Structure 1
Amino acid sequence: MESKKSDEERCSWESDLMRSQHAQRSRQHCHLLAREILLLFSVFTNFILLSALIVKRPDVQRCVEMTSAYSPLHGRYPVTLSPRLSVNSSLEPGLTPSIYRQAPSPEVDAAWGRVTSTHLFPLRKDEVMKMGKDPDYVALMPEEFGFGEDMHAGFMDVFHKIHCLDVLRREAHSDYYGASSKSPLGQAHVDHCIYILLEGLMCRPNMQIIPYIWLEGHPTPTPDFVNTDMCWDFENVIEWKETHGHLNDRSYYDLYGELRPKTKQTP
């Protein structure tokens, strides 16, 4: 009788031990599974974050296109930006002033001539329409310009704005160039250029800060115009214009086309 009871107790003890071991293994399995889930979640989260960083990495070309009106040249010119220190921006020109700040001379005029010359670029009909223009009224390039058939003509806005800046420069040095605003047409040209430059600056305001600094010999704080900005490589822009465009040395007189029956309204 006692032997039977002892066997039952031993069986009960072994059963309890097995249940305990099973429960322990279950807990270990759960802990291991939880760690694996956390590891997978961590890997997945890091993958998502890394992918987001890669996808959202700034792309200069894309940023330019998103912050500008459509231009057929966006797909042709590869934009690069780099920091540039505006070393010639202080009120005093310094010992080595930029050629663009120097007094009028043939050399200065040649430098300004290079940054104001407009080159014509070929535009397809669909590109003209994407610009919101009517191809019926956009002049065509002669085939002898070398751009093919049925190519419309246009030039880059930036060089028109620099041309307007040059107009004001010449007005400031009217003793050298002679005042161009004496005639009504000359005055209208100057007023046009002033407004074009104002409109361009208001369209794309620069949020750079110009700090006031103390300078030796100055009794009051002075604006520090020597700052670093992110800039296009404008020398590269000029070279690209000269390589891919047709110099507009009054050649717009050679442009042709036919005005359709409808009447073009004066803008």
Structure 2
Amino acid sequence: MNAPDRIGIVGTGLIGAALAALVARRAPNVAIEAVEPQGAYRETVAAQMPRITWRHCAEDLAPCDMVFLCCPPNAVQPLAREVLAAGEGLVIDAGSVKGRIVEGLSDAPRFIGGHPLAGGNRPGPFRAEPDALVAARFVLTPHAGNAESEIERVESFLARLGFSVVRLNAAAHDQIVARTSHLPHLLSYAYAGLLSEMDPDELGIFASRSTRTMSRHAAQNTRMWGEILEQNGPAVSAALDELILELMTLRNAFAGRGDSVAKRLEPAAQTAAILNGSNDE
């Protein structure tokens, strides 16, 4: 399987910067070129990885064998078109919503949808570490126009970097991450919004570890999360409807209708224990 000699990265925020660092560590013979419009991001990454070659715009990455788009979801399609028109390489995005993007680029055989299941709440490269991506899953969501050989080529390169690569239909991906990623962030924003109505002094006194844990995913990068939630609106709405039904069931338990509250909590506690290893702490 032909490995790339040169890769491009558009956007060196948390994921883009971590990806560049991972390539530098695991594939040191692969040249890295990058595009980053924000000067502070570019300066931070350049100081950490001086061998990166910086380009002015996405079409300047035309000579690259693979270009990874690590940018907000709404920017993926126009940037992908720009890179595809300029060169002959493969283009892979890293957005956490796939349906709209993959459908919009289904006429582009050299575009492959992707999503590394890693990240963080703070935007920018300032806390980016390659270890954040090591052993992470990288979901690929190919479309019918992709050649099997090119999908396998991307899979091979990602595996070389240490990713566990999974293929998934774009719609199925969006339904799953709506429950595992997008809904938790939406609930965190909603909860933090509720807290914002409290008296600040009282909140400061009575905020507990649970308060901070529940509100932690109300990420500062509201532009990106607004785009994610809007693009995956149908799947997130369906997940939210299911959660509302679950909450109403718990509310009925409070009122003495149906099962006891403790009985309703038991299956949730068991799932949480599996996900977190143990709930004995």
Normalising by the residue count of structure 1, what TM-score does the alignment of the two structures yield?
0.24
Identify the structure with bigger relative contact order (alpha carbons < 8 Å, sequence gap 6+): 1
Higher gyration radius (CA): 1
